[in-house]
Amino acid sequence: MNAITAQTARPPAEVYEAEFVPALFRPFSPVVADVAGITAGQRVLDVACGTGVLARTVATRVGPSGAVLGLDANPDMLAVARRLDTRIEWIDGLAEALPLPDACVDAVVSQFGLMFFDDRAQALREMRRVLRPGGRLAVAVCDAVERSPGYGALAALLHTLFGEPVAAAFRAPFAIGDAQLLAALARQADWPRAEVLRRSATVRFASIDALVSTERACIWTLGGLLDDTQFARLLDGARRVLAPFVQSDGGVAFAMPVLIIAARKA
């Protein structure tokens, strides 16, 4: 079984935790927690928590005197999260209708979920509703794909090989990577004093093959779009365009910027 076949044979939530979390989501978790100013004793909500990497980072910071809630609409993601950490209260729910009372948490964090919400402004309003006065918000999204050299090269390759529809599917996580757009969205959602910060971390995969096979298994982007022959063509092209990012150990690494909506509730 080759790497591509092995990846697609695993459930999406397992691929997410095993591949995307260490390569992409874990490096950004402390960045988001820093922006939110997470400290010991706080009660914190992680919206669109996935398998819980940000919630676990926050739980370490709030300590035994604090509490963390992780909310996601995907039960398979939550099943993995529950298996990995029992300190956290895992909640099945939608960002646009948080099943929580008003003013019940000290901070709300979220990373790489806002771009996929059906109603982004409503989700941000709900985050405001559940925050206590003085509570802080930190919501991270991918910056524009062109600002991330590795992913930008892969997006361009997909366009060349398979046309714009496939490239557009890959770019979906980067869809709202625009500071002005995010500032306008925050104002629409009753966050008039929100800032949009740019931060960066390094994305790392074990190899180019691992990066491409992981993207194939991602149901939110390329999953199901290309057949085995097309993915073999993609892998061959990726080995060429991503060669500048290959490290001495064979891994691939490149900087990726994110934009973070940061605000404090009055």
CA distance 125 to 95: 10
Helix then strand then coil, % of the chain, to nearest 5 = 50, 20, 30
| Distances from the Cα of 258 to the Cα of 21, 77, 198, 230, angstroms | 16, 23, 6, 30
CA 233 to chain CA centroid, Å, is 27
What per-residue string of b and e applies to 126-135 under the rule 16 or more CB within 10 Å gives b?
A: bbbbbbeeeb
Tokens of 184: 């306008």
Per-residue pLDDT of the chain (266 residues; tens, 9 = 90+): 344 444 446 788 999 999 999 999 999 999 999 999 999 999 999 999 999 999 999 999 999 999 999 999 999 999 999 999 999 999 999 999 999 999 999 999 999 999 999 999 999 999 999 999 999 999 999 999 999 999 999 999 999 999 999 999 999 999 999 999 999 999 999 999 999 999 999 999 999 999 998 988 887 788 888 899 999 999 999 999 999 999 999 999 999 999 999 999 99
**Domain covering 3-264 assigned CATH 3.10.110.10 in the classification:** no
pTM here is 0.93
C-alpha dihedral (218, 89, 262, 34), degrees to nearest 10: -90
Domain-by-domain residue ranges, the chain?
A: 3-264
